[in-house]
């Protein structure tokens, strides 16, 4: 999915920055940025996202 739409690679950092500004909770915002990036890498698969995040932090 990311190969077809390169502009989607900007979504996780923009999401994290927007959430930091809106909520002032940095760690939560960075965590959601990581999860959204894993979602894109997993081609939109929720289970693939869980696997990628778990393997990255295990």
Compute the distance between CA of residue 43 and CA of residue 19 in angstroms, rounded to an integer: 23
Compute the distance between CA of residue 21 and CA of residue 38 in angstroms, rounded to an integer: 22
* Tens digits of residue pLDDT in 1-57: 778 888 899 999 999 999 999 999 999 999 999 999 999 999 999 999 999 999 999
> And the tokens for 57?
């932090």
Full 3-state SS string of 15-39: HHHHHHHHHCCHHHHHHHHHHHHHH
Against a cut of 0.75, is the pTM above it? Answer: yes
Closest CA to 42 of 28, 31, 56: 56
């Amino acid at each position: 999915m990311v190969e077809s739409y390169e502009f989607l690679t900007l979504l996780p950092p923009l999401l994290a920055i927007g959430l930091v500004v809106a909520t002032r909770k940095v760690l939560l915002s960075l965590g959601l940025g990581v999860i959204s990036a894993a979602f894109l890498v997993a081609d939109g698969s929720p289970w693939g996202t869980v696997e990628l995040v778990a393997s990255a932090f295990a």
